[in-house]
Structure 1
Amino acid sequence: MAQFDVYTNPSKTSKSFYPYLVDIQSPHLSELATRIVIPLGKRSSFRDNAMQGLTPEIDFEEEKLLLLTPQISSIPTKQLNNAVGSLTHFRDQIAGALDFAVTGI
């Protein structure tokens, strides 16, 4: 598992709105039984409710998605199956959204 890898959401109840989860956990914490993730939500489901800096828009798998930073959570590692991609190229936006959530700047 690598930081910024993207996984299909294993939840049957929420995957229609949040099809993917982004693993944001540091590789230095690989011995934990959980991973810190942020859901990617379908942009179309959130209309104009995106918050600049907090929920950046991400293009992934030909879909417009929002990084839903306020919904950060953890999930057991065993529930994350094969990665379907990586958002390493969005590292700065992801780190910026996390910083904004914590510091407000």
Structure 2
Amino acid sequence: MFRYGGDEFCLLFHNNNMAAAIGTCQQLRQQLNALTFDECPELKLTASFGLDTYADSITASRLFINADKAMYQAKKLESGICVYSPAGQNVQSETTLSSAPKLDV
């Protein structure tokens, strides 16, 4: 894990499948959302994750671009996790895997 810029962080999974990566992101999202702050109890942390696989992205640069687009789609859909799908060039949400909107690339 490293800071990618601003409020964005990058998690790299070595030899993991997409299901395992989604599971890890779901756990992180739940743990962040469960945090409470005595000084500001109404404050809730949220996180949006964009995922892509290196093999499908061809280059590291494309990997980050695709994951970034997926992350912004996750924010837009408020689903929390989206997966970039290179075959159809669309983004799939964890909650709407079969009906995700097309993403302009």
TM-score, normalised to structure 1, is: 0.29
Q: Which has the larger radius of gyration?
A: 2
Select the structure with the greater relative contact order (CA < 8 A; seq sep ≥ 6): 1
